Amino acid sequence: MPEQNKKYRIIISGGGTGGHIFPAVAIANQFKVVYPNAEILFVGANGRMEMTRVPEAGYKIVGLNIAGLQRKLTLQNLSFPFKVLSSISAAKKIIEDFKPDAVVGVGGYASAPVLFAATSKKIPALIQEQNSHAGITNKLLAKRVRKICVAYEGMEKYFPADKIVLTGNPVRSDIIGCNTKRFIALSHFNLQPNKKTILVIGGSLGARTLNESTAQSLNQLVAEGYQLIWQTGKTYHQTAQEKSAELSEKGVRVFDFIKTMDLAYAASDLVISRAGALSISELCLAGKPAILVPSPNVAEDHQTKNAMALVQKSAAVLVKDSEANTKLYPEAFALLKNEAKLQELSTNVLSMSKPGATAEIVNELIKLL
């Protein structure tokens, strides 16, 4: 292995949602553990959440003017080819200026032009695919990169088998062992230890179905004697605050975004979540019983496939998005009254965790170097 004091230069590209950003930051943090003198540059898409979240994590980021294709004919789609060409040109300039030793792509709009530009110059590249269904960006890049780190088995249908390494998804290290922080977490959220707590997370951008289902069940939730930590996303935050205004003293806590997710998991007895790859990886590490409500607005219904990987092993419960308004909270209240089922879900989901995922991905990157 190369010397630890070597000053490697690494570009990590991608973003758009927390599901891409947090794994990217986890990889960067782990690489800095191995090579403290490394210089890491992120490349994201202007106007997307990585442009604020990455600097908050302590890393420099530059943005490309790139956006995704819309599913229907729009003016934005007509400008798409020009944005791609200008983004590739901008990415080439970034690579010429920064001179990276290797490039990592985590999916999302910015990943494609950066990895295309890097591999054109024979710079070693690795991609990390979080989902059980490969994204279009990563499928296009698969032939150009040297290694593909995946979280699910059976990814040979999307990628060359000889490039695949099954590592699991990188997650924030503070989630490992988060349950030891339960009393700190309850104090942090000002919640009572003798009441059970539901954590609702609709992903980093929020989820309308989860928010609306939660809003209409608030009074019953409080009447049943439960507490709530509710991450709404920015769009629904004000509405949620208005609907829960008089319930704060009953243990209802509303946030647009939760930075201390380790404490949110630690305080919870049941998690209601979308089935994005990052959320599932975090649930596995935290060992939390969960009801998963897969988003219907994703490519190839991949969140349902993500969720079924857990459901088939009695490690989570699934409620369809279309049935959430009527079934989600009755299911949640029934689960919270069933200690044996909660324990079964917790034990089984914890057994599916891959706590060494980030280190394995960094080891693959080191091999390329």
Q: Say if 1 falls within a structural domain.
A: no
E runs forming strands in 189-305? 197-201, 227-231, 252-255, 270-273, 290-292
State whether 184 and 165 are in the same domain: no
State whether 165 and 255 are in the same domain: no
Q: Say if 69 falls within a structural domain.
A: yes
State whether 149 and 184 are in the same domain: no
Q: Say if 196 falls within a structural domain.
A: yes
Q: Say if 3 falls within a structural domain.
A: no
What average pLDDT does range 69-84 have in this prediction?
50
Q: Say if 343 falls within a structural domain.
A: yes
What average pLDDT does range 215-241 have in this prediction?
96
Q: Name the binding residues for UDP-N-acetyl-alpha-D-glucosamine.
A: 17-19, 131, 172, 204, 258, 303
State whether 321 and 242 are in the same domain: yes
Angle, to 10 degrees, between the axis of helix 302-311 and the axis of helix 277-286? 20
Q: Say if 4 falls within a structural domain.
A: no
Domain that holds residue 140: 9-169+355-368
pLDDT in tens, 30-75: 999 999 999 999 999 898 889 999 999 999 999 998 765 444 444 4
State whether 104 and 122 are in the same domain: yes
Res. 78: pLDDT tops 70: no
What average pLDDT does range 111-125 have in this prediction?
95
Q: What are phi and psi for residue 217, nearest 5 degrees?
A: -105, 5
Q: Say if 2 falls within a structural domain.
A: no
Nearest to 53 by CA among 210, 170, 166, 172: 172
H-state helical runs in 102-223: 111-120, 136-141, 182-188, 208-223
State whether 346 and 359 are in the same domain: no
Is-contact 256 237, C-beta < 8 A? yes
What average pLDDT does range 304-322 have in this prediction?
94
State whether 161 and 205 are in the same domain: no
The percentage of the chain sitting over the pLDDT mark of 70, rounded to a whole number, equals 93
State whether 33 and 88 are in the same domain: yes
What's the CATH number where 77 sits? 3.40.50.2000
pLDDT in tens, 193-226: 999 999 999 866 668 999 999 999 999 999 999 9
State whether 284 and 227 are in the same domain: yes
Write down the pLDDT at residue 136: 81
State whether 185 and 256 are in the same domain: yes
Residue 104 vs residue 80, higher pLDDT: 104
State whether 25 and 142 are in the same domain: yes
What average pLDDT does range 149-171 have in this prediction?
93
CB neighbourhood size of 353 (10 A): 19
Number of domains in the chain: 2
Write down the pLDDT at residue 301: 84
Q: Name the binding residues.
A: 17-19, 131, 172, 204, 258, 303
CB neighbourhood size of 351 (10 A): 11
State whether 95 and 204 are in the same domain: no
Q: What is the mean pLDDT of the chain?
A: 90
